[in-house]
Amino acid sequence: MILETFPVGLLQCNCTLLGDETTGEAMVIDPGDNTPQILARIASHRLTLKQIVVTHAHIDHVGGALKLKQQTGAPILLNQQDLPLLEMMDMQAGWLGVQTPEVAPPDASAEDHLVVGLENYPAQVLHTPGHTPGSICLHFAPQKLLIAGDTLFAGSIGRTDLPGGDFKTIIRSIHDRLLPLPEDTRVIPGHGSVTTIGEERESNPFLQA
Ligand SMILES: [Zn+2]
């Protein structure tokens, strides 16, 4: 398994490239920006991009998705409850003072329990609303790996003061869907350093009873 996480764009969103060297297939999660860099990484492993998954429709996570699709033909998956945010891309660009990236509706909705990913590395979609209504995490159970988007961070949680955000909802999502995962599950958050479910269960100040 090829697994590379690297920050892209102004807000340093963690973009993840997952590849299977036996089939030559790859998926990319949260291509927020720097599409040429993402394409170069895919090419350097001689992989073919099969799928793009976006954990939520904030500009720093979705900004490069359409470009990546146009260059590779890979479909984009995003939970449909984030479509209103996708339509607010002008406003989101205004928050950051950047140019509005071109976006388009996803090819399919990343619904709760949907299985996404690669043939040999499937992941289950966990719908974890709160940071945004359509926020999702991807759980690769055999690899004990969670791609958490902006729902859970090392020592923190996603902000809930942007349109569609809700504090009680994100707390419930984390308690109901993420904390029950095995404690040695590696968590790759949408920003910042890697952590584990056990570490966050133990010491994340937002998650203590
Ligand atoms: Zn976000």
User: If you average pLDDT over residues 125-134, what whole number do you get?
Assistant: 98
The mean of the pLDDT values for the chain is 97
Task: Answer yes or no: is pLDDT of 34 > 80.
Answer: yes
> Is the torsion defined by CA of 88, 157, 169, 56 positive or negative?
positive
Q: What is the pLDDT of residue 101?
A: 96
**182 Cα–ligand 1 center, Å:** 25
Lowest mean pLDDT among 44-48, 93-97, 152-156, 197-201: 93-97
Q: What is the pLDDT of residue 209?
A: 73
Q: Which residues contact 205 (CB under 8 A, 6 or more apart)?
A: 155, 156
**23 Cα–ligand 1 center, Å:** 32
**108 Cα–ligand 1 center, Å:** 20
Express each pLDDT in 136-151 by its tens digit: 999 999 999 999 999 9
**24 Cα–ligand 1 center, Å:** 30
Q: What is the pLDDT of residue 175?
A: 98
Q: What is the pLDDT of residue 197?
A: 98
User: If you average pLDDT over residues 113-140, what whole number do you get?
Assistant: 98
**15 Cα–ligand 1 center, Å:** 13
User: If you average pLDDT over residues 147-174, what whole number do you get?
Assistant: 97
**58 Cα–ligand 1 center, Å:** 5
